[in-house]
């Protein structure tokens, strides 16, 4: 379902205008900056496609509030264009070189100054004879608001410079991450609305009529540009480069970024940017990218401005963790246990550094709750290793002919006639019959995987070859294969056949929990299998256990207990185990010695520097702990790596103790 480009463009412009007002004027954004950027990027592309040029006919900043005196800026305040990839950055540099060439300065050396793009509120500060005269917001770039009374409460903004000069400088007012959290807690306690992000908190704090409110919020300022400078009677030189501007600001007593860096070429810029990405959440202030400026002021003047912003500078945005895209269809994915999961087929989009074309829709209730339809523009997110998911629908961009999604009665991939049914008491659908070829293959793929039998080198491709050649019909047949049977297969030579047989033979000695994982019992994943194996100690004991005995294990519950109990009672499964187990040596779990961490629950989020996820889990188990995939009040520790997901925020919200990698290693060692 696709609406005409012209209609889509009109919808986008209306939507952007609405959200620009919510952001700039109302200080109450309804979408993240990343989502706004994504909508704006699509608008610019469609403008070129439909109208032949980007008119940028969207909101440009905020109107001045009547509660504050208006300030007409002596120097227009611009916003930088954005780039989102190195290729786009290279295109920008090519445009710079082309303009210089047209001015008979072809091949002239260009170096750059890079600064973190702080997510705050732009402030224009004026000094006369070294004394603070006025501070104003950007507004619409030409007219802003006089906020001198609140700006004076910023501790890092000097009232008097170190020299009696006339100066107009530009900086970013920001609220520290910790101060932001403290402020929101205070707002919540007082029954007031909380702020969506540090940027809006800073803006709301600066645009107060009562300066005492601003003073209590601990605002900070970082200066990064000089719009006007007169040395007057001092001997200070007019800066000839951006780097010299930063040095002069420091000399005059104004705060600048300690992270600013000169880069000799674009490759150095990219290297600096790549080093910034993994550190994005480690700064005391919020950042959303890196600002890159041509260093030499004479080159800046020559490069000039477009109708939208300076040609000599660009904002290189960090990889978005939230973006917008369009749902082009919904497919139903049949898992190895027969559970049917809806998946959104998306217009491909770059999110968190990788291209995403699909996102889980979880189940029927999730689709209904968010009212997700084919043709919808949706916000998707992906943080760290989290599977992409749909966060919300932008209904203002919905096609008029869209209809609610309904699950079909039959799905290809299920057994029998393909019928599906909703699981009683759950939001999930499942196949009525599990005897399809697709399900058989999926169960075998999982059985040979590293989480189950760990048959190194035996993956889905080889499993398919063995099935297609009728060498195996089920997992039991894997353990009776010979080298002679494998060698005639395409791509197999003597050594390859030997390697496969060796991997299969090695896997015959299997830990009990790995065997349970391999059986594809509904609801029994890696951690659940370990808990069950440790509780019952042997396959025989488990097979004779009642559903209540299984369900009684902490963290298991009735649904999994009933599923496991039913699995071991089905005749085909009994026959399968009777044929399989003679080929195996099952290693039952050793009895654990109680420690201070016994039965303590850990959750892992983000990427650890020196440990893989499997390494960290192994350390937890060795210490007697348990691993969970979700944070709750019953969680004891959340181990936080770089680029953590929402689990870290959930831990803070619930008061669960968080550990960095070093603290975690000390605890479990």
Catalytic residues: 117
Task: Give me the helix-helix angle, 460-468 and 437-448, nearest 10°.
Answer: 130
Tell me which H or E stretch contains 659.
Answer: strand 657-659
Tell me which H or E stretch contains 494.
Answer: helix 494-506
d(CA 311, CA 295): 13
Question: Half-sphere exposure of residue 348, counting CA atoms within 13 Å on the CB side?
Answer: 3
396, 380 Cβ separation under 8 angstroms: no
Pull the structure tokens for residue 408. 């079909």
What value does the CA radius of gyration of the chain take, rounded to a whole number of Å?
Answer: 31
Strands 585-587 and 313-317: unpaired
d(CA 460, CA 113): 50
Pull the structure tokens for residue 234. 């001092």
Residues β-bridged to residue 116: 290
* Count of positions (residues) in the chain: 669
**CA pseudo-torsion sign 568, 574, 580, 581:** positive
d(CA 484, CA 195): 69
Distances (CA, A) of 274 to 83, 206, 382: 14, 33, 19
12, 36 Cβ separation under 8 angstroms: no
**Which residues have C-beta within 8 Å of that of residue 463, sequence separation ≥ 6?**
441, 444, 445, 448, 472
d(CA 360, CA 91): 35
Strands 220-230 and 166-174: antiparallel
Q: Please tell me what DSSP assigns to residue 618.
A: H
> In 3D, which of 555, 659, 654 has the Cα closest to residue 606?
659
Pull the structure tokens for residue 181. 């959290």
Strands 637-640 and 601-605: parallel
> In 3D, which of 85, 81, 84 has the Cα closest to residue 96?
81
> In 3D, which of 608, 664, 613, 594 has the Cα closest to residue 636?
664
> In 3D, which of 260, 171, 294 has the Cα closest to residue 224?
171
Pull the structure tokens for residue 108. 């002239």
Strands 637-640 and 657-659: parallel
Q: Which residue has the tokens 């006025």?
A: 134
DSSP per-residue letters across 276-300: HGGGTTSSSS-EEEEEEEESBHHHH
DSSP per-residue letters across 153-172: T-TTS-SB-SS--EEEEEEE
d(CA 330, CA 402): 13
304, 21 Cβ separation under 8 angstroms: no
382, 356 Cβ separation under 8 angstroms: yes
Pull the structure tokens for residue 166. 């006339």
First-to-last CA distance in the chain? Answer: 56
């Amino acid at each position: 379902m696709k609406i005409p480009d012209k209609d889509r463009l009109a919808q986008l412009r209306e939507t952007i205008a609405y959200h620009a007002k919510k952001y700039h004027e109302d200080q109450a954004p309804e979408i993240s900056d990343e989502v706004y950027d994504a909508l704006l990027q699509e608008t610019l592309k469609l403008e070129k496609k439909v109208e032949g040029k980007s008119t940028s006919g969207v909101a440009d900043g905020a109107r001045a509030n009547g509660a504050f005196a208006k300030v007409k800026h002596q120097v227009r305040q611009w916003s930088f264009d954005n780039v989102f990839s190195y290729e786009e950055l290279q295109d920008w540099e090519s445009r710079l070189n082309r303009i210089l060439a047209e001015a008979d300065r072809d091949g002239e050396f260009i170096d750059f100054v890079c600064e973190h793009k702080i997510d705050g509120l732009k402030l224009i500060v004026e000094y006369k004879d070294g004394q603070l005269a006025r501070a104003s917001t950007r507004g619409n770039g030409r007219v802003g608001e006089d906020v001198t009374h609140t700006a004076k409460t910023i501790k890092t903004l000097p009232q008097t410079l170190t020299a009696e000069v006339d100066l107009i400088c530009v900086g970013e007012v920001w609220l520290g991450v910790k101060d932001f959290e403290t402020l929101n807690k205070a707002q919540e306690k007082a029954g007031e609305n909380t702020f969506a992000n540090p940027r809006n908190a800073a803006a709301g704090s600066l645009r107060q009529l009562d300066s005492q409110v601003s003073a209590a919020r601990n605002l900070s300022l970082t200066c990064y540009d000089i719009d006007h400078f007169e040395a007057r009677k001092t001997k200070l030189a007019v800066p000839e480069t951006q780097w010299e501007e930063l040095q002069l600001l420091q000399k005059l007593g104004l705060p600048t970024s300690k992270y600013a860096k000169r880069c000799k070429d674009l490759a150095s810029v990219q290297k600096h940017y790549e080093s910034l990405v993994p550190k994005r959440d480690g700064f005391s202030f919020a950042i959303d990218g890196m600002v890159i400026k041509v260093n030499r002021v004479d080159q800046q003047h020559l490069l000039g401005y477009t109708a939208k912003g300076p040609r000599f500078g660009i904002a290189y945005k960090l990889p978005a963790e939230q973006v917008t895209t369009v749902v082009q269809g919904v497919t139903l994915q049949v898992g190895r246990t027969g559970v049917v999961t809806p998946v959104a087929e998306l217009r491909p989009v770059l999110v968190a550094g990788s291209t995403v074309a699909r996102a889980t829709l979880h189940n029927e209730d999730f689709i209904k709750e968010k009212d997700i339809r084919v043709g919808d523009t949706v916000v998707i997110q992906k943080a760290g290793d989290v599977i992409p998911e749909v966060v919300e629908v932008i209904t203002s961009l919905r096609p008029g002919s869209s209809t609610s999604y309904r699950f079909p009665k039959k799905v290809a991939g299920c057994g029998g006639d393909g019928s599906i049914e909703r699981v009683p008491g759950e939001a999930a659908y499942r196949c009525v019959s599990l005897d399809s070829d697709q399900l058989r293959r999926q169960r075998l793929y999982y059985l040979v995987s590293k989480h189950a039998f760990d048959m190194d080198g035996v993956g889905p491709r080889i499993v398919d070859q063995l099935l297609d050649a009728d060498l195996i019909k089920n997992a039991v047949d894997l353990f009776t294969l010979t080298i002679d049977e494998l060698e005639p297969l395409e791509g197999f030579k003597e050594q390859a056949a030997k390697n496969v047989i060796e991997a299969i033979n090695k896997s015959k000695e299997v830990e009990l929990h790995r065997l349970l994982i391999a059986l594809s019992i509904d609801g029994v994943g890696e951690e659940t299998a370990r808990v069950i194996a440790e509780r019952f100690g042997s396959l025989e004991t488990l097979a004779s256990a009642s559903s209540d005995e299984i369900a009684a294990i902490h963290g298991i519950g009735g649904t999994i207990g009933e599923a496991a109990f039913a699995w071991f009672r089905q005749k085909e499964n009994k026959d399968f185990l009777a044929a399989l187990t003679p080929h195996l040596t099952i290693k039952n779990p050793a009895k654990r010695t109680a420690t201070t961490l016994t039965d303590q629950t850990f959750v892992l989020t983000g990427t650890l520097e020196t440990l893989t996820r499997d390494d960290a889990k192994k350390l937890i188990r060795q210490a007697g702990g348990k691993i969970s995939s979700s944070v709750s009040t019953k969680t004891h520790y959340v181990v936080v790596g770089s680029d953590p997901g929402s689990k870290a925020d959930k831990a803070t919200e619930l008061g669960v103790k968080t550990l960095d990698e070093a603290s975690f290693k000390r605890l479990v060692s």
